Amino acid sequence: MKVLVVDDEVKNAELVAAELADAGFTTEYANGGAAALKRLEAERFDAVVTDLRMAPPDGMALLGQVRERWPATAVIVMTAYAALETARKALKLGARDYVEKEGDFTDVLVLSLRELAEKSQLAHENERLAASFDSLRREALPVVGEAPATKRVLDMAARVAVTDSTVLLRGESGSGKDLFARTIHLLSRRAGGPWVKVNCGALPEALLESELFGHEKGAFTGAVRQKAGRFEDAHRGTIFLDEIGEMPVSLQVKLLQVIEEKTFTRVGGNQPITVDVRILAATNRPLEDMVRERTFREDLFFRLNVFPLVLPPLRERPGDVPRLVQHFLRKHGAAEDKIDGAALRAMSSYAFPGHVRELEHVVVRALILAGPDPSGVEHLTFAATGSTNAGAGGTFGPAGWVPEIPEEGLSLEDLERELILKALERAKGNKSRAARLLGLTRRTLYSRMEKHGLRRPGEGGDGGDDDPEDAGE
């Protein structure tokens, strides 16, 4: 620990610095407040030990400068007994301690500095461990993805995670609501506490109430002993209520009480139980419509919908597919090159109506079918069965998606026109991106748009969609 001793009586400063050096501290001394400020500007000190009564700037002025300019540097003041009231004032202004300059006061000063050093070392260790834990925790986050839509939701999840707000995750079935809920828990101050998940749609009403809130012995047939509920299991942690839209109205009242008062009673009991639980909920159902139909309580909806997170479907973040595939390969112990490039491109082009959950199932099935060999397009479930892509009839072959030809035939010209319109819609009118979606140069896209009456000859671009990659086409 590096200490600067300050006194306008230089002999006193030198003596105190020497005694502190004998006690194991690295010390320097300064003759008054002005000299001390110069030393502090030149190098870093862990602590300043200063006399209060000095020629200007005195000890109080020096304390103020240190607290303002070097807040990490602790200040201990030395004072005569008659100036104890001034010392107390110094403590209010941010001094860490004070010692009375009488007798062998340096022993007291050494003890104060050692205590300060221990606290500082402990704080640094806690910061290091917290940073290390946070790093490990972030590396272990279950959500995988770099697409802009994914990043936006992850950013919102990270912001709300550090609070204790109730979060309602909404999205289509299989879009990853469970994974985002776990991410919020892992990024929260409750990460070291319990993580409890309950699927509200998986149990009948009577069993769900007992599962959530527990029951007393004899509460119903088969209740041979007292049982704690999942809310009690989640004390000081997080409970995730999946498929909250499936919860019976009769239980919604009890859940509302838990949210508002943090208390409930077990089935068959009358003793209120208090819990410290953060609630996350998820649904793929239109709760607003259910409120209008009186199948979901309006007051409960408002209490759950404090911070809604709407998860984008996988079809809106195709750029995440390769990363997710690599994640699932690692998860199932397969090499990262176990799926070949053609299969990866086919998966990136497929809409995945079952979203992330379906993607994992496709990867696992491909691994099983391929055996020791690399998985190819022929091992993909949707390619093998001729599954639809984004609602359009067709199959996947080695060259990619091929539309089905109906019995009455189709117009290739009309099909090309529709594909161009869909690409422009997907690219939000940006013709450079639309051309890349169709595997065309921008010049070729313009030519085909003119052919189909979608662009007049010589018409300008779309106002800023020029791409350096297209220069010179």
* Residue 441 to residue 185: CA distance in whole angstroms: 46
CATH number at residue 66: 3.40.50.2300
Task: Read off the pLDDT band of 133 (50, 70, 90).
Answer: very low
Give the rounded percent of residues in the chain with a pLDDT score beyond 70.
Answer: 85
Between 20 and 414, residue with greater pLDDT = 20
Q: Which of 95, 99, 28 is nearest to 63 (CA)?
A: 95
304 Cα distance to chain centroid: 19
CA torsion 146-148-153-154 (nearest 10°) is 30
pLDDT at 195 exceeding the cut of 90: yes
Residues 303 and 346 in one domain: no
The answer to the question of residue 159 being in a domain is: yes
Q: Do you find a cis peptide bond into 57, omega within 30 degrees of 0? A: yes
Residues 343 and 390 in one domain: yes
What pLDDT, on a 0 to 100 scale, did the predictor assign at position 453?
A: 81
Q: Which residues are bridge partners to 27 per DSSP? A: 3
Please give the structure tokens belonging to residue 202.
């998986």
Residues 6 or more apart in contact with residue 172 via CB below 8 angstroms: 284, 311, 313, 355
Please write the tens of the pLDDT for every residue from 391-403. 444 554 444 455 6
Predicted structure pTM score:
0.53
Amino acid at 342: A
Amino acid at 467: D
The answer to the question of residue 440 being in a domain is: yes
The pairing of beta strand 263-264 with beta strand 2-6: unpaired
Total number of domains in the chain? 4
Residues 361 and 423 in one domain: no
Residues 159 and 262 in one domain: yes
Please give the structure tokens belonging to residue 16.
């105190």
Please write the tens of the pLDDT for every residue from 315-368. 888 888 888 898 889 888 898 889 988 888 888 888 888 788 888 888 998 898
Please give the structure tokens belonging to residue 61.
């002025």
The answer to the question of residue 86 being in a domain is: yes
Residues 277 and 372 in one domain: no
* Residue 287 to residue 297: CA distance in whole angstroms: 9
Helices (H), 30-188: 33-42, 59-69, 84-92, 105-139, 148-161, 177-186
In contact, 303 and 165? CB cutoff 8 Å? no
What pLDDT, on a 0 to 100 scale, did the predictor assign at position 383?
A: 61
Residues 32 and 110 in one domain: yes
Residues 159 and 258 in one domain: yes
* Residue 109 to residue 107: CA distance in whole angstroms: 5
Please write the tens of the pLDDT for every residue from 429-464. 888 888 888 878 888 888 888 888 887 666 655 544
Residues 292 and 386 in one domain: no
Q: What is the mean pLDDT of the chain?
A: 83
Helices (H), 187-297: 205-213, 230-233, 249-261, 287-292
Kindly list the distances between the CA atom of residue 51 and the CA atoms of 13, 61, 101, in Å, as whole numbers in the listed order: 9, 11, 9
Please write the tens of the pLDDT for every residue from 259-282. 999 999 998 888 889 999 999 999
The answer to the question of residue 142 being in a domain is: no
Give the rounded percent of residues in the chain with a pLDDT score beyond 90.
Answer: 33
Please write the tens of the pLDDT for every residue from 229-247. 999 999 999 999 999 999 9
The answer to the question of residue 163 being in a domain is: yes
pLDDT at 135 exceeding the cut of 70: no
118 by Cβ neighbours in 10 Å (0-12 / 13-18 / 19+) ranks as exposed
The answer to the question of residue 136 being in a domain is: no
For residues 89-105, give the mean pLDDT. Answer: 83
Please give the structure tokens belonging to residue 253.
């009242």
Residues 156 and 301 in one domain: yes
